[in-house]
Amino acid sequence: MASILKLPQSEIDKICAGEVVERPASVVKELIENSLDAGATRIGIAIEDGGKRMISVMDNGCGINPNELESALSAHCTSKIRSADELYVKHSLGFRGEALYSIASISKLKIASRRAEDQAGAEIAVEAGEVVEKRIIALNKGTSIEVRELFLNTPVRRKFLRAKGTEVNFITSMVLDYSLCYPEIAWRLESDGKESFATRGDGDLTPILKRVFDAEIAQSIIKVDYRHSSDLQQGTDVGSFAAGISISGVVAHPQYYRSNRIGQHFFVNRRPVRNRIFYRAVDDACREYMSAGKHALCVLMLDIPPSDIDVNIHPAKQEVSFSEPQQIYALITIGVKRAISVAAAEQQATLARDLASDEMPPSPVNGIDDRARPDESDDREDYVKEAVTSTPDNKIAGPHIDKEISPEQRNTRSIPLYTESKTLPKPKRPVLSIAEFASEADDKALISAETVGEITPEDLSDSQIMGQIGRTFIVFIKNDALYLLDQHSAHERIVFEGIYRNAINRESSPPRQGLVFPILLSLRPDQVDGIKMYIPVMNRLGFQIEVFGEDTLLLREVPASIAERINIEVFRSIIEGFLVTGTEKSYNEMVKHVAATTACKCAIKAGDELSEAEMRWLVKSLTRLESSFTCPHGRPTLVKLGVRDVGKLFQRA
Amino acid sequence: MKLRIGRLELDKALGVVSRAVSMKSLGSYQQFVKIAASSDGIVSLEATDDELYTRVSIEGSVTDEGETLVSPLICDLVSRMIGDEVEIFKEGASLTVKCGRSRYQLVCAPADHFPKISDYKTGQAINMQSSVLRDVLSKITFCAYKGGGERSSYYTSGVLFRFTPEYLDAVATDGHRLGLKKCRGKFTEETVDVMLPASNAEEIMKFLPDDPELTVSTFLSNNQLFLEFENMVVASSLLDVKFPDYSRVIPSEKATTVSIDRKEMHDALRRAIIVSRAKQHNPVARLKTVGDVMTIFTDATDVGSGEEDLPCEVTGDDIEISLNPGYLVDVLSQLSCEGILFYWNSKVTPLVVSTSEDEDYTYVVMPIRIE
């Protein structure tokens, strides 16, 4: 056995660097934060080959003393704190003194900087941590850092980098995030010599939101601006703790949603973070307006005294923990809920005003139908008052969006006969939590799925369909046994088998149904880049997708076997599924992955009401498949309860 | 409220009104029929599920005026009662319905919550013959997407009526086929687009008598469409979605024209579907002409295959195209003409179906591409 030795410093550095620098985007992040801490008002980022070949960040910040340039690259050297205690009161973004040192130790790095008071700037070049060149150069005020050949001495990390498009996607999303937090800074991002994003730095969020979401959604956003005020009723969860805390930002109108969290951007003290409390708070705040599994689009910024949070959990500082998480949750939930209900009230007022000014005939149900206006309760008015009086003087440059949202923009759905009494769209069905159901079933250990193995395909074609429970499970009886079928995972398996087998068993693409009107999906240019590698695979499965311009996908044909399941929303969620999981795989793995994603997104959902014919079709189609008893993700599709199983429920041994 | 009324008339009126009673449990006026009797002898029956509204007014002899909501059970009762006249009167919280030797008391509810329909005759009426409107709806409505769910907010779930000074276009599509019916004539001063939910269009079609003498007056008011004819008023909510530019969908070229017997083609396709739909949810069939014979090919893996030969007249090149035969069966069963026409350009461009009897009707089926 090898003896135990202390690692040489160079190896320790590589290991430590891995903690901070995970991918090109982490380099961009560290460099941007340095620029921000230097008080820059213009920050330019340029990348080549997704940052794998080159990353450069230029700013007009305060610059570095030429004599200190070299020490800036040493471990735990920082101008930002003087002792570990300061970590917890610090408002600056960086402070650990690790970033530059870590990056320098795994790349070829050049740093050039000039302070306003110096005659000339200084430049220093470092390769894998060793200084190779120092010189005096002419330079504008500010600092520029260029990183080439990232991971040059950590080949494994280099190998794990994803496709160029994916890395560009990571970097773009991150720069967009920072531009949301710092709209007063002029940002510019350039990829392979082409400008992909630029802001004027005038504090206006609208153009950034158009880029982050899309133009249509950016028009419909609702401003969130809430801080705990002392006159708030006791009894809410926001106690005295929350006095110095505020939540601001925007949420998109609930008619827009996504089935993933791509559209959710959270920041704490102007730092992008990921935190479950935010997720839960926004979901709960929007629960009234969208069904389970749908997530609102939002940009939310929490301003909180640094003493109440710990961002020092991880070197990348993306995670954050709160000293009072429950109260943060309550603050966010209330803030978002109120913003939406105020918008709903305004919408109603605008509608009423429009109707009055047009001298429309009196409303057929105005003031009569109590049922249709549950939002008109007293606390709704309180909400309005509360939000109006809540202080707008918080320090974060809140979004400056004054666009009035017209009712037409808000509601593109069917207008009911009696429009006046309706406000925001209500969820069409009771919110259903599968997770809750499942955990309950587990706890009681009522049902075991072991017996499923006995089911043979011929068994079930003429079963007696009993119905649907929870609009999620189909119940049917055959040969003295009760069966439960999960409509989503069953249909998912059917669709998957259809398109996947079709693709691998045929030499050419499966039959494709042409669309009368091609579906146009607008995305961000970097998302389009990220999707490009999936297009040949999707075309192989029977889609006909073309890239149209730099930010639009055009869908002309769909696999004939699932033609009626595809619409723009399904198409969007398939595409977004790839953005979340984008990673390099072998071609065959990609085909399987794309087929599974497509099946999942276009399958019947839990909560869809089915006719008896549809249920019968599902049962029949599922049992005809070879591997029918789990969905492509491995969840069971069918559970059988024999007489003995039911007997156990009644404690008959 | 107390009145006497002819049973057959009442039965007919209830049959119409009950179609707008909601089947979902909303627990309010949507599940009732409203009966209102006025002293001038007019008895009006109303129902709405908030999407569709119906009202039928009939004459009766009213002793006491009044109004009430009553369970739609009254429809079934009246249709099965024996006798010429029905007597209806309200006592306390129940409505008594008497006819011949039958007497029933139905629980009723105050009509205060039932929505009052606003004065819809504010704009210019668009007048159409009942038979024409019925024909338009029957040729178009089936093209829309039938399923509900989230899709109901797309253009695929509605029927577009485009009224212009020169013509009316009615269009619907489910994304894979599209139907367009043009009616010439002056309908409005300027172009007006109305998106009627397909489910309401289907109901309205059933209400309209096939009578060329009867005029239907249409009014647009308050984002609702009102139709007035005979003693009826029907109103529908409208969809607030934009229909894409359909004019580009219809090919202007006609490289080949095929003329074929509608009924023979219909029967052949229905047989072909038996095989092609056995395993696939969405069947595929291939149409090919050689000389004056069109052959329909079906081939389903692990099931079987089949061919149908049909005599036809071909002007131009021979055609070959794959498509979902269900879309052709749909249109052929809606049409009643003897012969139909296919216009074809290539196997990747839409196939157009029309008839020599009605050249203003165009039905477009997108092909299925097989490599």
Residues A387-441: tens digit of each pLDDT:
333 333 333 333 333 344 444 443 433 444 543 333 344 333 333 233 333 333 3
Q: A373 to chain B: which residues are within 8 Å by CB? A: none
Instruction: Provide, as residue numbers in chain A, all residues whose Cβ is less than 8 Å from the Cβ of B172.
Output: none
Domain region containing B292: 251-365
Residue A424 and residue A340 in contact, taking contact as beta carbons nearer than 8 Å: yes
CATH number of the structural domain spanning residue B278: 3.10.150.10
DSSP structural state of residue A636: B
Q: Is residue B97 part of a domain?
A: yes
pLDDT at A7: 67
Whether the per-residue pLDDT at A339 is higher than 60: the answer is: yes
Tell me if B47 sits within 8 A of B29, measured CB to CB. no
How many other CB atoms sit within 10 Å of the CB of residue A15? 10
Q: Which of B48, B178, B281 sits opposite A516 (nearest CB)?
A: B178
The whole-number pLDDT of residue B277 equals 80
Q: Assess whether B215 and B326 both reside in one domain.
A: no
- The residue assigned the tokens 């930010």 is A551
B100 shares its domain with B135: no
* Contact call for B153 and A414, based on CB within 8 A: yes
Same-domain check for residues B68 and B39: yes
Higher-confidence position of B136 and A363: B136
Whole-number average pLDDT of chain A: 73
Candidates A300, A301, A279, A420; CA nearest to A363 is A420
Distances (CA, A) of A246 to A226, A325, A421: 6, 14, 33
Mean pLDDT of A196-225: 83
C-beta separation of B164 from B191 below 8 A = yes
Residue A11 pLDDT > 80: no
Q: For residue B103, is it within any domain?
A: yes
A261-265, A506-510, A641-645: lowest mean pLDDT where? A506-510
How many domains does chain B divide into? 3
Threshold 0.90, pTM exceeds: no
B29/B93 same-domain check: yes
CB pair distance less than 8 Å for A515 and B237: no
B152 reaches A (C-beta below 8 A): yes
Say if the Cβ atoms of A368 and B122 lie within 8 Å: no
Q: Which of A418, A512, A621 sits opposite B368 (nearest CB)?
A: A512
Percent of chain A's residues with pLDDT above 90: 5
Task: Provide the chain B residues 117-136 that lie in CB contact (below 8 A) with chain A.
Answer: 117-120, 122
Enumerate the β-bridge partners of residue A265: A299
Q: Looking at residue B295, what is its pLDDT?
A: 95
Both tokens assigned to A537: 């695979």
Q: What residues of chain B score a pLDDT lower than 50?
A: 151
Residues B237 and B141 in one domain: yes
**Per-residue pLDDT tens over the stretch A546-557:** 998 888 899 999
B256 and B239, same structural domain?
no
Once rounded to an integer, what is the mean pLDDT over residues A443-454?
A: 37
Count of H helices and E strands in chain A?
20, 25
Cβ of residue B177 closer than 8 Å to a chain A Cβ? yes
Select from B247, B273, B301 the last residue of a domain: B247
Segment A148-172 shows an average pLDDT of: 81
Question: Would you state the pLDDT for residue B134?
Answer: 94
Domain membership flag for residue B47: yes
Supply the pLDDT for residue A441: 35
- Per-residue confidence (pLDDT) for residue B89, from 0 to 100: 93
From B65, B81, B113, give the residue that closes a domain.
B113
Both tokens of residue B251?
Answer: 């090919």
Q: Which residues of chain A make contact with B113, given a CB cutoff of 8 A? A: 368-370
Beta carbon pairs, A and B, within 8 Å: 139
Residue B173 sits in the same domain as residue B92: no
For the ranges A123-137, A324-338, A354-368, B251-265, the maximum mean pLDDT occurs at B251-265
Does residue B124 share a domain with residue B241?
Answer: yes
The predicted-structure confidence for B29-85, as pLDDT tens digits, reads as follows 888 999 999 999 999 999 998 889 999 999 999 999 999 999 999 999 999 999 999
Instruction: Judge whether B156 is closer than 8 Å to chain A, CB to CB.
Output: yes
B14 is a domain residue: yes
Are A570 and A601 in contact by the 8 Å Cβ rule? The answer is: yes
Rounded to whole angstroms, the Cα distance separating B224 from B238 reads: 6
Kindly state the helix (H) or strand (E) to which residue A518 belongs, with its residue range: strand A512-522
Residue B370 domain flag: no
In this complex, do B371 and A508 lie within 8 Å of one another by their Cβ atoms? yes
The reply to whether B285 and B195 lie within a common domain is no
Domain boundary among B247, B278, B306: B247
Higher pLDDT, A74 or A270: A270
CA distance B168 to chain A (A): 21
State both tokens at B1: 């409220």
Q: Are residues B354 and B237 in the same domain?
A: no
- B173 close to A (CB below 8 A): yes
Q: In the prediction, which pLDDT does A94 show?
A: 56
Residues of A contacting chain B (CB within 8 angstroms) = 360-365, 368-371, 408, 411-419, 508-509, 511-517, 544, 557, 560-564, 567-569, 608-609, 617, 621, 624
Cβ within 8 Å of A, B 323-352:
324, 348, 350
CB A471 within 8 A of CB A429: yes
Model confidence at A28: pLDDT above 80: yes
Kindly state whether residue B371 falls inside one of the protein's structural domains. Answer: no
pLDDT at A161: 77
